[in-house]
Amino acid sequence: MSILPVLIAPDPRLKLKSKPVKNVNELERKLIEDMLETMYIEPGIGLAAPQVGHNSRIIVIDISDNKEDRQPYRIVNPIITWVSEDDNISEEGCLSLPQQYAEVVRPRAIKVNYIDQNNVRQSLEADGLLATCLQHEIDHLEGILFVDHISALKRNMILRKLIKSKRGQN
Ligand code: ZN
């Protein structure tokens, strides 16, 4: 397995819509395992393929806080089939927007259909942190970042900070 470099916003590649995966084969399975490894190292609780420069509808998630008892989700071609009427507000961050956080409003619970790393159809009902994380990662596949859900004022403030810190690295 290898650690993949994570793209940092603003980056045009993070704004692209990702393509569905026709069939999960060895190439995709390796990408999924590399994405998990990258997510654990960073550390984060979710990662989407476009964040590591792959334009495919693949996300990985693990919200367990125990290293010894990891519960990774390997999710390909996710489709949200239901959202709850009631919302949840939670503070979100993103590996592509390091050290930036903002409160985002999203449906509290959702249902998702997807295929796993073995091309088996799965469905998942989630609420709380898992529902938030799923929606955040599925957004990435549409080229949407969590800052796109907040006011333009706050968004521009965050993006300006990221541009500044990118310049600082050069
Ligand atoms: Zn993210």
- Taking a 5 Å cut-off on Cβ, the residues next to ion ligand 1 are 94
pLDDT band at 156 (very low <50, low <70, confident <90, very high): very high
pLDDT in tens, 108-141: 999 999 999 999 999 999 999 999 999 999 999 9
Q: Which residues of 125-160 are buried (b: 16+ CB within 10 A; e: fewer)?
A: ebeeebbbbbbbbbbbbebbbbbebbeeeebeebbe
pLDDT band at 67 (very low <50, low <70, confident <90, very high): confident
How far, in Å, from the CA of 117 to the mean position of ligand 1?
Answer: 21
pTM: 0.96
Report pLDDT for 1.
80
Report pLDDT for 84.
98
Catalytic residues: 137
Report pLDDT for 65.
83
CATH superfamily of 12-169: Peptide deformylase (3.90.45.10)
| pLDDT, averaged across the chain | 96
How far, in Å, from the CA of 24 to the mean position of ligand 1?
Answer: 23
How far, in Å, from the CA of 54 to the mean position of ligand 1?
Answer: 14
User: What are the residue ranges spanned by the domains of the chain?
Assistant: 12-169
Report pLDDT for 44.
95
pLDDT in tens, 91-106: 999 999 999 999 999 9
90 is written with which tokens?
Answer: 């939670």
d(CA 9, CA 58): 19
How far, in Å, from the CA of 153 to the mean position of ligand 1?
Answer: 20
- Asked if 34 contacts 72 with a C-beta cutoff of 8 angstroms, the reply is no
Mean pLDDT within 11-18: 98
